[in-house]
């Protein structure tokens, strides 16, 4: 058979198959696009499942102390500042904000390098971050406030009240240690806080793209009931901690603990806090030991234990926590 006769059927087959190939590729592309859209819709649905702040709350960027913090404010009346910790952002305080905003001015920042705040390379010692919060109060025209803190927020909170005791009238401190205070060295031997010293040149590379896996470890191990922290909450914070620079800043928060310990020893040596302190521990976490810890730095300490809760009190037992905190802030009673 002549060469041109042999090639003609092959060319015909190629031309005939081209539309089918294009159609097949188009279908595959549509499937990929549709899957992506479905994924985006699922993410949006999950985000909506996180309790929103009241409509009266305004979010703004405030330049303070060499960085920029994302701050939510709203309401009127006595001011309440709320500070979050690791694996959360200021979003954790939406339920408490809803309960207080009718008769309080609420101030809810994302800490330096966390949430939607900027990610500076330095300044993560808690004594310096206390200056961030004091500067926010200054810019908002707030001379004094009540304070509610959790986790690393406790550490920033202590540095704030120790440096500016006249500006904080009451302090609710929830379920975390203070570097350098009380049984701190023993705390560092607890295998559950292995992440306090999780550092080195590869930590960010190890976690990048696996932020959800990393955070799940803490939600699961430090909770009384991991199912109490739902998938929407986990996905919400995993997205925030996957933002550029977020995990780098989070690791810097922990890297500053050694300096924080030295600073806290110096601050505590100046005397104990005089303002009323409510020390809150999860029943399956710090429990009554939270009040024992705070006795090292404060003279007027009330103990509270949240039943059926681990470390993640606002996620595990939000209704109980909100009622308790609101009552104590308003009238000093649990």
- The tens digit of pLDDT for each residue in 160-214 reads 999 999 999 999 999 999 999 999 999 888 888 999 888 888 999 999 999 999 9
Q: Residue 49 — very low, low, confident or very high, per pLDDT cuts 50/70/90? A: low
Q: How far apart are CA 256 and CA 179, in angstroms?
A: 10
Reference 113, options 253, 223, 210; nearest CA is 253
Q: Residue 13 — very low, low, confident or very high, per pLDDT cuts 50/70/90? A: very low
- Which H helix or E strand runs over 264? helix 257-268
Longest dimension (CA), the chain: 104
pLDDT of residue 201: 87
Q: How far apart are CA 129 and CA 136, in angstroms?
A: 11
pTM of the model: 0.85
Assess whether pLDDT exceeds 90 at residue 57: yes
- The tens digit of pLDDT for each residue in 14-30 reads 333 334 443 444 444 43
- Cα 222 from chain centroid (whole Å): 15
Assess whether pLDDT exceeds 80 at residue 231: yes
Residue in this structure with the two tokens 């549709």, named with its chain if needed: 34
Strand partners, 81: 107, 147
Q: Residue 301 — very low, low, confident or very high, per pLDDT cuts 50/70/90? A: very high
Q: How far apart are CA 289 and CA 303, in angstroms?
A: 9
């Amino acid at each position: 058979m002549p060469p041109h006769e042999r090639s003609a059927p092959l060319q015909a087959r190629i031309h005939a198959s081209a539309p089918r190939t294009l159609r097949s590729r188009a279908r595959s592309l549509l499937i990929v696009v549709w899957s992506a859209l479905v994924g985006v819709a699922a993410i949006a649905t999950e985000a909506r499942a996180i309790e929103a702040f009241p409509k009266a709350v305004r979010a703004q960027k405030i330049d303070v102390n060499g960085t920029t913090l994302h701050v939510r404010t709203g309401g009127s009346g006595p001011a309440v500042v709320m500070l979050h910790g690791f694996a959360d952002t200021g979003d954790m305080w939406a339920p408490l904000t809803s309960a207080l905003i009718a008769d309080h001015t609420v101030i809810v920042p994302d800490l330096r390098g966390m949430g939607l705040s900027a990610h500076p390379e330095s300044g993560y010692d808690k004594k310096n971050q206390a200056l961030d919060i004091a500067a926010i109060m200054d810019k908002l025209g707030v001379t004094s406030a009540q304070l509610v803190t959790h986790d690393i927020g406790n550490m920033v909170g202590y540095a704030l009240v120790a440096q500016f005791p006249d500006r904080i009238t009451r302090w609710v401190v929830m379920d975390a240690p203070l570097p350098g205070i009380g049984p701190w060295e023993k705390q560092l031997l607890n295998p559950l806080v292995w992440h306090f010293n999780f550092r080195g040149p590869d930590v960010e590379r190890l976690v990048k793209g696996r932020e959800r896996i990393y955070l799940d470890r803490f939600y699961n191990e430090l909770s009384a009931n991991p199912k109490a922290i739902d998938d929407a909450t986990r996905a919400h914070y995993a997205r925030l901690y996957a933002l550029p620079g977020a995990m780098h800043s989070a690791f810097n928060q922990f890297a500053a603990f050694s300096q924080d310990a030295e600073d806290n020893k110096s601050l505590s040596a100046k005397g104990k806090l005089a303002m009323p302190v409510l020390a809150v521990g999860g029943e399956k976490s710090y429990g009554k030991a939270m009040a024992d810890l705070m006795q090292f730095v404060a003279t007027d300490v009330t103990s509270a234990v949240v039943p059926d809760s681990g470390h993640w009190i606002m996620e595990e037992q939000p209704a109980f926590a909100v009622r308790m905190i609101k009552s104590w802030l308003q009238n000093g009673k649990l």
